[in-house]
A and B are shown apart, each in its own frame.
Chain A
Amino acid sequence: MDTLMSLADGFHTALTFENLLLALLGTFLGTMMGALPGLGPSNGVAILIPLAFTLGLGATPSLILLTSVYYGAMYGGRISSILLNIPGDEPAMMTCLDGYPMAKKGLAGEALSLSGIASFVGAFIATWGLILLAPQLVKFALLFGPAEYFALFALAFATLGGVSSTNQAKSAFAAMLGLGLSVIGVDTQTGVPRLTFGEVHLYDGLDFLVAIVGLFALSEVFIFLEHRHGSATGAGHKVSVGRITPPWKMVKETTPTMLRSSLLGFVAGVLPGAGASLGSFISYSMEKKLVDRKNTFGTGDPRGVAAPEAGNNAAAGGALVPMLALGVPGSGTTAVLLAVLLSLNITPGPLLFQNNPDVVWGLIAALFIANFMLLAMNIPMVGIFTRVLMIPPRILMPIVAMVSFVGIYGISGSSFDLLVMIGFGVMGWLLRKLDVPLVPIILGTLLGNTMENNLRRAVTISNGDYWTLVGSPLAIGLWTVAIVGFILPLFLSRFVKARMHERRDDEGAISD
């Protein structure tokens, strides 16, 4: 009851004309920034900090503006994933896998609006989770030591088979390539630079955003250049974009997927060492393992669009739990939000709920408001977004190239990163020719570093005893899920295939 009273107070704080206007502005700008390749939620929030200061906003209005941008960017990331096969940010990467095939099938409108609804469901559930469970969840997060984090990442990699439905060997190769790339940089556990060749720009490792934009966006441009004398110039080709609202049947079918993915994503978000990318990845691959009976994931299955979007938006909400309740950022974006809190002379930490209830509850109320605004804004805007598909490639591709360069330079301010991006673009082009999936590369790079660090932390703490990795019930549980998730499909698929053969035989017998 107390909680509801506080929430009501929060709405009282948040529901002023100025705050609503800020939320509207934030959600709109956030969606745009999320959609642009390169600009993700953390940059989006950082970019708007000066605006908040210039307007002289107080703590609550500033946070309302910035969290609206955060949620907006999480929504927006899916747009370019679906329409262009270029993820707008890291967590939206998994949406490419089924979103782009859906768009190719002429279902772009459905994919966009369905993913908008999935984003809403994810964020909505996560916000309730934040309200009702924050204190308990903090205790849960404290169960995760380095050994448990390592098991969690191992679990993520064990489900990697779910990512690409084509060639498992190529998918494994891509993941290994990603893991290899992730070791570049100064090794924090020894302080020694690895594979940096004395280049100071590489000391902090490769920036995931640079890698993503290069691999996905630039390689697309290269492929277009290569084919420019062929079909791509075919002007005025009719593209079917589908309807702007998903049929009820599709929504109904994907509802269980959305709910499951929201829960998984939320949990991943709550863990400070995991984050939204892991959330959307695990949601997608688990969902594929659970419901993909006909092997349609990866070919434009609506559930494959709903799962990662619900997952990553729920993770964004989940990441606010350790930020508000512990003062520990659960993601890059919450790190920025924490910095804003500090600049506003609010000390985050376990006492934030007691010391600044108006800020916390105003923020939570603003999350609800932003989420509804985003849903209301995103569905009608689908019609506008889908027009991107009607732009002929000879105009679209130069824009993609320009946005990539401007975006990356805008974030890092370094021409070295542009060279790295071009390098990744060439690599992406080559790998596409070889039919190697690109998503596992990013996953390897994104998760490999944290996974390695946690392994080495765990083993250092236990003085070299590897048994520590299975030293707690939680770790054993995670390993069990990982091993079952990895091995079971091998047997299951054999079993299913055998059954199918049998049935064919039966049918054959009947028709005889």
Chain B
Amino acid sequence: MAFKLMRAAIAVAALTVATGASAQECIAPANPGGGWDFTCRQVGKTMQDLGLIDSTMQVVNLAGGGGGVAFAEVVNKRNDDDNLIVAASSATATRLAQGAYPGNSMDQVRWVGSIGADYGVIAVAADSDIQTLPELLDKIKADPNSVSVAGGSAVGGWDHLKVLIAADAYGIDDVRKVKYIAFDGGGEAVTQLLAGSVQAFTGDLSEAKGFVDSGDIRVIAVLAPERLDGEFSEFPTAKEQGVDAIGANWRGFYAPGGMSDEAYQMWVDKVGQLYASDEWKQVMAANGLAPLDLQGAEFESFVQNSVQQIQDISRQIGIIK
């Protein structure tokens, strides 16, 4: 009896790793619960609802090395798999730009398309006396030690870079002086903002949304080229406050470099159809995702520019040489 039970449980476990020839698979290069995991699961679910794929998308969590394990796995072992896409975001571009995936570069895979962008925000607690982005940056300029900025990524990661981009645009000479405190995820960072341990938060709009709705935190700048739509339109952009800083955490997919052209085109079309659907518009609205509609070659050159830009900033602030 115990054997039977064990066998049943193993079978359930095996179901998730089994990759049938026909089943579409999405690798989330992180543990369940993060942004990449969300990308795979949400896209898989919506594609299934829309009938774009005939069976449930297999979501495989291949965590490690900030996505580097999955990248290496795809390049080395799954290079000609036609049924595979991998969730990616600005964090992927950041690590590729900083050489944090040892021996791998962005041209080893094919870039499929984007499903939206999550613009960066800089926020303070609702009871803070800081009202605008220039006020915050002035404070940092005057005494960098007086302001701790919390974010969900490690030092050198995308959340950190966003605040540095803003500081750089404001004319703070040595951006390395900006005090950044790394937490395990945006949620923990916002919690510490509420607890009063830190003075400012840098992260994505979607991470901050719940707390903005409840009135606990105040967004002092969105790092978008222009004001966002709908309920987010009340947030001022950094640009209109005289700080020319844009930071979008795009979300999208790459596919194995050896994927056949037909399969690649099929995925590009599917992601395009998904993006165009009303269902996806609703998902984007509910999660604070802003439009970013790029597929195929367009997306490829977008990622290339993004990698180049991050490389420049990182070199400037001394994260890479």
* Known contacts A50-B58, A189-B155, A349-B211; A414 and B287 CB within 8 A of each other: no
The reply to whether B187 and A342 form a contact with Cβ atoms under 8 Å apart is no
The reply to whether B32 and A412 form a contact with Cβ atoms under 8 Å apart is no
Give the docked Cα–Cα distance between A50 and B12 (Å): 11
| B148 CB within 8 Å of chain A | yes
| B51 CB within 8 Å of chain A | no
Contact with B along A380-395 (1 / 0, CB 8 A): 0000110110010000
The reply to whether B63 and A328 form a contact with Cβ atoms under 8 Å apart is no
Contacts of A384 on B, CB cut-off 8 Å? 1-2, 5
Min distance, Cβ A379 to any Cβ of chain B, angstroms: 16
* Known contacts A53-B56, A343-B45, A414-B73; A203 and B9 CB within 8 A of each other: no
The reply to whether B59 and A50 form a contact with Cβ atoms under 8 Å apart is yes
Contact with B along A139-150 (1 / 0, CB 8 A): 001111110000
Min distance, Cβ B43 to any Cβ of chain A, angstroms: 10
The reply to whether A338 and B33 form a contact with Cβ atoms under 8 Å apart is yes
The reply to whether B12 and A145 form a contact with Cβ atoms under 8 Å apart is no
* Known contacts A32-B9, A142-B194, A328-B187; A188 and B32 CB within 8 A of each other: no
| B292 CB within 8 Å of chain A | no
Contact with B along A235-258 (1 / 0, CB 8 A): 000000000000000000000000
Min distance, Cβ A76 to any Cβ of chain B, angstroms: 9
Give the docked Cα–Cα distance between A388 and B3 (Å): 9
| B228 CB within 8 Å of chain A | no
Contacts of B305 on A, CB cut-off 8 Å? none
The reply to whether B59 and A347 form a contact with Cβ atoms under 8 Å apart is no
| B248 CB within 8 Å of chain A | no
| A259 CB within 8 Å of chain B | no
Contact pick for A49, options B41, B211, B214, CB 8 Å: B41
Q: Which of A11-19, A152-160, A167-175, A401-409 participates in binding chain B?
A: A401-409
Contacts of B38 on A, CB cut-off 8 Å? 339, 342-343
| B277 CB within 8 Å of chain A | no
Contact pick for A47, options B13, B182, B197, CB 8 Å: B13
Contact with A along B170-183 (1 / 0, CB 8 A): 00000000010111
The reply to whether B10 and A406 form a contact with Cβ atoms under 8 Å apart is yes
Q: Closest residue to B186 on the A side, CB-wise? A: A328
Give the docked Cα–Cα distance between A463 and B16 (Å): 47
Give the docked Cα–Cα distance between A328 and B287 (Å): 16
The reply to whether B9 and A33 form a contact with Cβ atoms under 8 Å apart is yes
Contacts of B196 on A, CB cut-off 8 Å? 142, 145
Give the docked Cα–Cα distance between A248 and B20 (Å): 52
Q: Which of B64-72, B80-88, B107-115, B256-264 participates in binding chain A?
A: B64-72
Contacts of B17 on A, CB cut-off 8 Å? 409-410, 413
Contacts of B33 on A, CB cut-off 8 Å? 42, 329, 332, 335-336, 338-339
| B61 CB within 8 Å of chain A | yes
The reply to whether B69 and A200 form a contact with Cβ atoms under 8 Å apart is yes
Contact with A along B214-227 (1 / 0, CB 8 A): 10100000000000
The reply to whether A186 and B188 form a contact with Cβ atoms under 8 Å apart is no
Interface hub of A32, A33, A189 (most chain B Cβ within 10 A): A32
* Known contacts A32-B5, A328-B188; A200 and B68 CB within 8 A of each other: yes
| B102 CB within 8 Å of chain A | yes
* Known contacts A53-B45, A54-B56, A272-B188; A200 and B32 CB within 8 A of each other: no
Contact pick for A191, options B41, B157, B190, B216, CB 8 Å: B157
Interface residues of B in 193-207 (CB under 8 A from A): 194-198
Min distance, Cβ B258 to any Cβ of chain A, angstroms: 19
Contacts of B145 on A, CB cut-off 8 Å? 463
Contacts of A187 on B, CB cut-off 8 Å? 154
Interface hub of B5, B58, B216 (most chain A Cβ within 10 A): B5
* Known contacts A53-B56, A343-B41, A388-B2; A191 and B197 CB within 8 A of each other: no
| A457 CB within 8 Å of chain B | yes
The reply to whether A461 and B156 form a contact with Cβ atoms under 8 Å apart is no
Give the docked Cα–Cα distance between A338 and B187 (Å): 11
| A103 CB within 8 Å of chain B | no
Contacts of A387 on B, CB cut-off 8 Å? 1-2
The reply to whether A414 and B59 form a contact with Cβ atoms under 8 Å apart is no
A-B contact list, 12 entries, CB within 8 Å: A36-B6, A50-B59, A191-B319, A200-B68, A200-B69, A203-B68, A272-B188, A273-B184, A339-B41, A342-B287, A409-B17, A413-B60
Top 6 A-B pairs ranked by shortest CB distance?
A349-B210, A335-B33, A350-B214, A191-B156, A145-B197, A328-B187
Residues on A facing B (Cβ under 8 Å): 29, 32-33, 35-36, 39, 42-43, 45-50, 53-54, 141-146, 186-191, 198, 200-204, 272-273, 322, 326-329, 332, 335-336, 338-339, 342-343, 345, 347-352, 384-385, 387-388, 391, 399, 403, 406-407, 409-414, 416, 450, 453, 457, 460-461, 463
